[in-house]
Chain A
Amino acid sequence: MKYQLGSGFNRILYFFVFLSFVIPGSVLASQNVKSSNIKGYVKEKESGEPLPHANVILKGTNRGATANSDGYFVIVGVPVGKCSLEVHYIGYESKVIEVDNKPEGLEPLQIEMEAKAILIDGVKITAQAEMLEVAEHISQYTIAPRQLSMLPNMGEVDIFRAVQLLPGISGANDAESGLYVRGGTPDQNLILFDGMTIYHVDHFFGFFSAFNANAIKDMQIYKGGFPAEYGGRVSSVVNLTGKRGDMNEPKLGVGANLLSAHLNFETPLPWTKGSFIIAGRRSYTDFIESPLYNSIYNFVTGEDNGGAVGGRVTGGQWNRGIMESMFKPSFYFYDLNAKLTLMPSYNNIFAFSFYNGKDNLDNSQDFSDLPFRFAETDSDVSLSTTDFTKWGNLGGSGSWSYQWNDRLHTDINLAYSNYFSQHDGTTNMDVNLDDSTSNVRGFSNASEEDNSLTDITLKLNSEWHINRFHELKSGLQASQLEANYTSSLNDTTNILNLEDKTRQYSFYAQDNWKISKMDFVLGVRTTYYEETQENYLEPRVSLVYPLSENIKLKGAWGYYYQFIHRIVNENLTNQSRDFWLLADEDLEPTFSEHRIVGLSYENDRFLLSVEGYQKDLDNLIEYSPRFRREADYEDRFFIGTGKAKGLEFLGQLKKGILSGWLSYTLGRVDYRFPAFNDGEDFPASHDRRHEINTVAKLNLGPWTFASTWVYASGNAYTAPESQYFLEMLDGEIVSYIHVGDKNSNRLPDYHRLDLSLSRQFKGELVDSEVGLSVFNVYNHKNVWYRQYNLNTIPISITDVTMLGFTPTLFVQFNLK
């Protein structure tokens, strides 16, 4: 279903277009002041790296600019004469620069920012400054990856786990580093890394996010109401900018924890102006099984709770006897980031970025030592199974950005991204007989599951600062998407074989229009999607209105379409293997309408913010391989609608030795599917009514003490109401359950306290940092899901719990 805009919207659009040209002209005519543009680059002093999205404010006014990904900013029409610029970037000392603006303009300013530091015994130590910055635009946050290392973690600095501590983003699941943003699901988030769309964002069955914090410079998060320059998802945007590497001197960093080790190397290029960085992480879980690894592995695979994740409810025995006790699965993950930046001139930048993240699970078993024998013969039997699963994302991008003049900037980005998930399972049995009988010699069974999604996208973006009232962004995007999913048995039986290839073409334009004190962004995005041969129009509006120096009223509204679906594939005998499918005429693009209002109060010390949102969703897809009446796979998909709404509160302490934030979210997500719950509304399974997050960080000299505490009311789930028995035609009595209303029950509340303590050391040649982190300090038994065993009368229930008290250590060395 496409959402049509009424003629009323068109009239409003024309009115604003008219105003946008009339007002600036009249205002400019009334002013007779000479002015010119102030432009420049914001970069880190130590490394010379640009600081994307740094804020530059013209002091004493409400005017300013945000640096682009190259660190470039321009403030158009600054009156000639002396003025002050105030520059902010998260985690860095703010800076005030006095400028004497000339009628002919100035050379680009080179503003160097220093990381916040404290002196200990006369030596500067990096002070862990604020980790979070609330942006001007509604529902937008900036996170500083380098500041997250002090937060409690499971060994790996996990940027997505930190994002889960923000209001409106649910994080109350130990086995899920995906983001549930304002009632949306993880597949509804657009995750961009240097222009590549990343489809698989986690490691270790979802326990860690797949992004190496050492390779990321900047992270922008839009929880909703995102501008027209972003498209293709209905919930949120996470835009990651990779580090370019040190422009001044080579640097090497190594680190390790109880699961993995990492290494990063960055260097300026010797032959030309530019830099190179490579950063990699690899777990050593396949040859050293630390207690931490065993603890997490057992949790994510369900071993802690006596069986496979998702435990089947009935229908026979789940044989995990002698055979399964004799093998140990082998598992590892790795990721690798590399980026080469070439800067032939200050306004001409080429960047090539590479990303590869992969998880590998080998569940193969060899039972050759088992004492299987033919009776009264010397023949023996060997049984072996191979069970390989690998999944991950491979991507690369190349971009060229060019600053044509003070006010016009363009960049071209060509990105390739490939998500893959492959499962290969075979069972082989060989029988070695001591005679020449013609009996069975062996057999082989094979099952394969393969999902790949390839995304090749070309983007052209331009940013034109027309005048001091208008900043026009526009762009073109062409994508080719190819999704394949095959599931087969014994190379001959195709269970499911889906192949789809399509293209989509998008155009967007958005005007950031300053009307008096108000900042108003009016944008539109339109996408032609080849598969449905339809054009999808997405108007978007947002505004920021300062009620006083410290208080701002914000709002946003917009239409959003998503042309790809991630199907949650329940697998009764193993972990879920989700797969991606392209939207088509049957599985139409998902649609969402966002409505958001907010109010914030901010000064130098703290920030208070409240936002209310409502999000309507259409063409949501649910998939069930069993809940069907026909063999045709398309009848296994169910289409419905959803409605998410909520209120979010955030209080942030920005300065001082104690910093952090406290957030509270009151939320509700209801789904409606004609096939479920008699067509009545029911809570989505990720619906949580209340969520509280606290993040506190205390700096005491070289010591940093940090804590996070998470509370969330229980997830919704469907509980059984009664049990009944039916005799099948083979005489087997099968136990069935009659369930209550869908998702009408709630799991117990979730809460968890994590603590960490770390210390920095400064040396002549090496800086280092060691730390201890403790997860779930008071060992609260958080229930993941309830497992019902129908093979008993009455039904027995097991609460499958999440990770308990888990300590871990980490160490980091940075060679100078």
Chain B
Amino acid sequence: MKKALIIVIALVLLISFVSCTEESPFAPGISEVVVQAYLFAGEPIDDIKITSTLLLGSEDTTAPPINDADVYLIKEGKQYNLVAVPGDSGYYHYSGSDLEVEEGDSFEINISYDGEISKAETVVPPPPENVEISDTILYISDDFFGWGPSDTNNIEITWDAVTSAMFYITVNNLETDPESIEMNGPFGDGSDAFRNFISTPTSSNSYQMRRMNFTHYGKHLIKIYRINQEYADLYISRTQDTRDLNEPLSNIENGLGIFSAFNSSDSIYFYVKKEE
């Protein structure tokens, strides 16, 4: 019996010492190229940013921009060289006037950096069609309490449904010095930070704007964007279960991030006015 007890005690002590070895909570790795490249139909190509990953455990607090990569857009077999924006931002743009982004165009991006090539493809989607708004004026009173999905005083925007297509909606207050709506809810008054807002990606063909969405009176611009799956994937990857981490979805080959194209409806205007 004594022997058995001694063996058990010895095992406890042995394992206690052995198990003191700690493994790093980070996987070892090397820097990767991160691409953030958005193309908007009918707009200049200036929203392309190349950065590097920030290795975990590093003392840095910002992701290092990459300003000296060779960046090309390829459309219909023709290659267009993007140049870095002066400064240390990692942004690239196309300065010529011979490259347009139009519905149905297929683009490839090709980034050569540090002997490695990263690339991705996207197609410019068609714009949302037959966009309509239910009213052009939304009245909100001074003592409006800001919460309430059941608030039926809404403005609804609709567009043609397309199978498997996804959209998002942006709303921008166009006033230079707008009057804020007094918000009496527990979250306090409206803040400038919420003057403009954007919906989450949706596969629906309508969007309800409630009074709770607005923080300022005045003229507003609404745009509906048709988005590609790669953007929806990126959006979905924003949250993770820490117990089972997965690589965020990306369409970049030999790199991380996103290369995607968007197409928007015509601009729609409406007003948020004070209820008398």
Contact = CB atoms under 8 A, between A and B. Distances in A.
Contacts of B57: 794
A711 B19 contact: yes
Interface in A98-115: none
Interface in A728-761: 728-730, 734, 736-741, 744-749, 751, 753
Interface string A465-491: 000000000000000000000000000
Nearest to A490: B149
Given A437-B143, A724-B34, A724-B53, A314 B25 contact: no
Nearest to A443: B150
B257 interface: yes
Interface string B27-60: 1110110101010000000000101111111111
Contacts of B8: 662, 694, 696, 707, 709
B79 to A, nearest CB: 25
B198 A375 contact: no
A487 to B, nearest CB: 17
B145 A744 contact: no
A787 interface: yes
Contacts of B6: none
B90 to A, nearest CB: 11
Measured as residues with beta carbon below 8 angstroms from the partner, the interface class of chain A is 35 or more
Given A570-B244, A729-B168, A751-B15, A721 B55 contact: yes
Interface in B243-272: 243-249, 256-258, 262
Interface in B17-31: 18-19, 22-29, 31
B242 A738 contact: no
Interface string A674-695: 0010000000010000001010
A381 interface: yes
A1 interface: no
A313 B242 contact: yes
A717 interface: yes
Contacts of A628: 236
A726 B90 CA distance: 12
B63 A786 contact: no
A372 B60 CA distance: 43
Given A377-B143, A629-B233, A711-B15, A720 B27 contact: yes
B142 to A, nearest CB: 9
Nearest to A630: B164
B256 A656 contact: no
Nearest to A725: B63
Dominant SS among interface residues on chain B = loop
A701 interface: no
B28 A740 contact: yes
B115 interface: no
A753 to B, nearest CB: 7
B184 interface: yes
A653 interface: yes
A518 interface: no
B87 interface: no
A720 to B, nearest CB: 6
A726 B258 contact: yes
B234 to A, nearest CB: 7
B237 interface: yes
Given A692-B15, A738-B256, A739-B246, A730 B197 contact: yes
Interface in A295-343: 310-315
B130 interface: no
B54 to A, nearest CB: 5
B258 A374 contact: no
A497 interface: no
A626 interface: yes
A442 interface: yes
A748 B12 contact: no
Nearest to B34: A724
Nearest to A799: B25
A736 B237 contact: yes
B241 interface: yes
Residue of B22, B26, B58, B196 with most chain A CB atoms under a 10 A cut-off: B26
Contact of A440 (B19, B27, B151): B151
Contact of B245 (A656, A714, A739, A749): A739
B235 interface: yes
Nearest to B26: A719
B256 A723 contact: no
B38 A734 contact: no
7 contacts: A374-B145, A440-B144, A443-B151, A657-B1, A722-B55, A724-B53, A729-B38
